[in-house]
C-alpha cells in the first residue's frame, strides 16, 4: 500500500484525481455584481436613436472581492489600502441600489491597463550585496 499525497499531505498532484477537491473558482460564491469597462455608442435603429454600451468581453466581479488588510506598520500603505477598500465600498453602494438586471454608468473612474513583469534573471550569488560569508563553526 503506497502513500497517498492527497490523503497524507492534502496535495493534488498532476494526473491524480483520486479524492480531488473542487478548484478555487468553484469554491467561491457566484458574483451578482460586475464592473464592466467600455464606451457608449449611439445607433440609429427602426425605433429611433439607441444608446448601447460596448464593453470588454469579461467584466470584473465586485461582490466576491475580499477587503485588503489595513493594519500595516507603514501608515501611508495602510491609508492606501483603506482607500482601495473604500473605492470598493462606494461602487458596491451603487450596486446595492440596482434592481435585478438593471445597470448604471458610473463616471469619474479612470481605467488603468498594466502588463505584469516578465521573469527576471536570477541574482548572481557572487555579486549579491547582501550576501556575507559567515563562519558558522562553534
On the question of pLDDT at 55 being above 70, the answer is yes
- Residue 13: the pLDDT is 47
Bridge-partner residues for 35, per DSSP?
Answer: 60
Q: What is the DSSP code string of 94-131?
A: HHHTPPTT------S----------PPPPPPGGG-TT-
Is pLDDT above 60 for 44?
A: yes
Question: From CA 21, how far away is CA 16, in angstroms rounded?
Answer: 11
User: How much is the pLDDT for 132?
Assistant: 86
pLDDT in tens, 75-124: 999 999 999 999 999 999 999 999 999 999 999 999 888 888 888 888 88
Q: Where are the domains positioned within the chain?
A: 28-59, 66-100
**What is the predicted pLDDT for the residue at 96?**
96
SS3 category, 9: helix
Q: What pLDDT, on the 0 to 100 scale, is given for residue 9?
A: 47
Amino acid at each position: 500500500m503506497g502513500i497517498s499525497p492527497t490523503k497524507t499531505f492534502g496535495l493534488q498532484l498532476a494526473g491524480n484525481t483520486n479524492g480531488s477537491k473542487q478548484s478555487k473558482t468553484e469554491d467561491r460564491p457566484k458574483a451578482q455584481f460586475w464592473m464592466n469597462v467600455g464606451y457608449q455608442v449611439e445607433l440609429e435603429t427602426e425605433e429611433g436613436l439607441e444608446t448601447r454600451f460596448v464593453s470588454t468581453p469579461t467584466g470584473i466581479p465586485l461582490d466576491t472581492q475580499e477587503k485588503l488588510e489595513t493594519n500595516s506598520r507603514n501608515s501611508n500603505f495602510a491609508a492606501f489600502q483603506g482607500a482601495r477598500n473604500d473605492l470598493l465600498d462606494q461602487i458596491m453602494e451603487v450596486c446595492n441600489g440596482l434592481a435585478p438586471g438593471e445597470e448604471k454608468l458610473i463616471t469619474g473612474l479612470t481605467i488603468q491597463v498594466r502588463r505584469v513583469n516578465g521573469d527576471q534573471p536570477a541574482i548572481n550569488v557572487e555579486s549579491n550585496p547582501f550576501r556575507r560569508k559567515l563562519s558558522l563553526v562553534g
